[in-house]
Amino acid sequence: MRGIITNCTENSFEIPQENLILYFYALASAIEYLHNKGIVHRDIKPENILIDSNGLARLSDVGGATLIDEDSTINSRVEGTVLYSAPEFFNGGLKNLTKKNFYKSDIWSLGVVMIELMTTKRINASNTDLQIKKKLAALNEKHDKTLIELLGKMLVHDPNQRKSASEVKLTLEVHYGDLVDGYNRGETSIENLLERRPTETFFKRLTNSIIKPMEGSLFKEGILDDGWKSKGDMKKTKRIDDKWAKYFSVDIEGFHVEAAKTSIKDVTLKDFMMDMDLRLRENRTQKIRYFALDLKNCEKITDEGATNIFSSFRSNFRSLQRLSVNFNGCKFIGDEGLKAIGAHIGANLQELTFLELDFNNCKTITNQGVKDLTLPICSNQKKLNTLGLHFYGCLGITDPAVHDFMTLVGANLQNLKKFALTLSYCEQITDQSIRDISVTLGKYVSGLHYLELNFVSCKLISDQGFEDLGIRLISNLKYLTHLDLNFGVWDKQCDQKVKDVAAHIEANFKNLPHLGLNLLDSKKVTDQGMICLIENIGNHAQKLEYLGINLSYFSRITDEGVYCLADHLGNLRSLKGIDLNFSNCKFISDDCVENLLYTIGTSLPELRHLGINLWNCKQLTDQSIRGLIVSTRKLVNLRVLDLDFDCLSSISENVIQDLSSSIRLNLKNLQLLRLNLWNCPQINKDLKELLKVLFQYVPKSQIRF
């Protein structure tokens, strides 16, 4: 460092304040480490500070250091260099000096070094406090006021009034967090600090960084636009670098990071976030506004890993506006992890407008974890307009957690426009949770445009809960444009409940463009309930642009219900997308399925998206598929076609070939094709090769044999 000062003096050059702060912070961290170990350096001066090729300051020459313990006595003899020594070594101040304050002699020396870096001139022990204040005041025009005030509190004659190393470091973190936080990773040991090298010197901007945050939609299609969970086309454009390529891939659009290996551990995640933060710290010209991290099924990630992720958001991510993190299947994440996540989001991400957190199948989460997560988020994120929390299979969550959460939402997040909550397979959830959700959203957050509620297999929910959902919630959401209700596997679900849904559609959803209903495994619903639902949709929701109905395992649905569905789909002329799931519906015939598919093709020529799931409908034959062949000749505007024929053992090779040829000839605008022919024994090797050739023209085709 002496060479830097000499060059500045000879060439009349001033060190940039950014560099000064980084020097300052690195040295304060090293001194703090020594002091925590009971060591006083006693010879801090420019000659004992080394600067590596990456611009990182390193403290050296501890030959004159003193170890302070209970048995040691304070040595009043001046050690080191007189020009940088603290005044207590000269004026007899050591006689009344406590061992605690003896460490502060290093703080005086550090202050003198910093003044010399800023001015190329020294302040020494012979200067009075008043003289020092006058010299510091002269620096206010060129340097930040906070920096000058900190130096003034280091350069006081009375060591009792002097800042400690920890206080100096903390002050720098608080006021210059976006700059110095890159040097504060993990342990603040001097070994790690002195050996840590930034990926590029801070004298350069990160103009050639692999990671270049971009403004724009986080996902090309999906949660910010049409849907919630669909992440659209996640194009992997580049690897992060050779170091991380085996663990992660990155989508440069926004900042989407996806785990490439589910075996990653906490330490890998910690090092990755540190490295990313170091790179982003130097890219000062851009702000990170979009961040998504997908750790699905990374089963070795624990609470510590979750904490490491969100603790990195203290500085460079403060400008985040949209955040999505997926911990689905991370079974070792529990209440402690949620507490840390909530604390860091609440304290650091004040600009968030969009937040989605997925804890599906994190089965150790309890009510306490939900409370610790949601309290700081709801209390501090005043700008949130989109919130999604998913707790599928978290068996420890009960009604009180939902009550507390919804109370916070009603009190703090009244401007929400999009809300999604998953409590599927949380088997202790009862009618009380449904009432709390319905009352809060219906009364305090009535401006919702998007609503998704998932209560699959919440078997304690009864007719009363369903009635509350309709009367207290749905009837009050006058601005709703997107509704997804998933309430499958309710043992008491019957025709009356489905009719209740139908009644509220009739009363409230004449202008609703998006409706998704999941009636999965509703064993007591018959054709009568189905017909009532479909009639109300067809007659009163005529502005629908998307309709999704899941009738999987409807063991009592027959041709009568499907014929009704076909008749009323013809009334929904504005439809642009349909998803129909008839998985394992064993009492529907070829005639009704053929008629339904034919009706879709002839009545809805403007359709852009079509999904048909006939999994395990083993009674269906080629006749059903021929209805689809006719439809493909009419639906020339289709962009997405999703067909599931898994376990249709009765369909022939010829009809699959005819369908494929029709798609190839007629659907020239197709962008995405999914075709599932799993467990279809008649599909031979030659047909597989033919299908691959036929669908080469589709930008994204997924064929499963």
Out of 43-57, 212-226, 552-566, 585-599, pick the least confident. 212-226
Is the pLDDT confidence value at 235 over 50? no
Residue 468, in any domain of the structure: no
The pLDDT value given to residue 511: 66
Would you tell me the crossing angle of helices 145-154 and 165-175 to the nearest 10 degrees? 180
- Mean predicted confidence (pLDDT) in 627-646: 88
- Crossing angle of the two packed helices 559-569 and 527-540, in degrees rounded to 10: 0
Among 381-390, 527-536, 545-554, where is mean pLDDT lowest?
Answer: 527-536
In sequence order, what are the beta bridge partners of 390? 358, 422
Q: Is residue 301 part of a domain?
A: no
Q: Is 235 helix (H, G, I), strand (E, B) or coil?
A: coil
190 occurs within a structural domain: yes
User: Average pLDDT for residues 592-605, to the nearest whole number?
Assistant: 88
pLDDT over 90 at 390, yes or no: yes
- pLDDT of 118 strictly over 90: no
CB-based contacts of 361: which residues, under 8 Å, 6+ apart?
328, 329, 331, 392, 393, 394
**510 within a domain of the structure (yes/no):** no
For 175-209, write each residue's pLDDT tens digit. 776 666 555 543 333 333 333 323 222 222 222 22
- Note whether residue 185 is domain-resident: yes
CA distance 504 to 45: 77
Other Cβ atoms less than 10 A from the Cβ of 427: the count is 15
| Distance of alpha carbon 292 from alpha carbon 351, whole angstroms | 16
CA atoms of 518 and 39, how far apart (whole Å): 66
531 Cβ partners below 8 Å, 6+ apart? 560, 561, 564
Lowest-confidence region among 107-121, 246-260, 319-333: 246-260
CATH (domain of 13): 1.10.510.10
Closest C-alpha among 140, 113, 104, 135 to residue 31: 104
Matching residue, tokens 């933060």:
277
Q: What is the pTM of this model?
A: 0.60
Range in 51-65, 433-447, 482-496, 555-569 with the lowest mean pLDDT: 482-496
Average pLDDT on 220-229 reads 29
Q: Is residue 257 a part of any domain in this protein? A: no
Task: List, for residues 658-688, the tens digit of each pLDDT value.
Answer: 888 888 888 888 888 888 888 877 777 777 7
Residue 380 forms part of a structural domain: no
φ and ψ at 439, to 5 degrees? -65, -45
Helix, strand and coil in the chain, % to nearest 5: 45, 15, 45
Q: What is d(CA 567, CA 563) in angstroms, rounded to the nearest whole number?
A: 6
Q: 319 and 281 in contact (C-beta within 8 Å)?
A: no
Is the pLDDT confidence value at 301 over 70?
yes
Q: At what angle do helices 335-348 and 303-311 cross, to 10 degrees?
A: 10
Count the Cβ atoms, other than its own, within 10 Å of residue 405: 25
Q: Which of the two residues, 262 and 62, has the higher pLDDT score? A: 62
Domain region containing 151: 2-195
Is 116 a member of any domain?
Answer: yes
Residue 364 burial by Cβ neighbours in a 10 Å radius (0-12, 13-18, 19+): middle
Q: How many structural domains does the chain have? A: 1
Q: What is the pLDDT of residue 565?
A: 85
pLDDT grade for 79, boundaries at 50, 70 and 90:
low
User: What secondary structure does DSSP assign to 61-116, as a single string?
Assistant: --TT-EE--TT-----S--S-GGGS-GGGTSSGGGG--HHHHTTHHHHHHHHHHHH
Residues β-bridged to residue 548: 516, 579
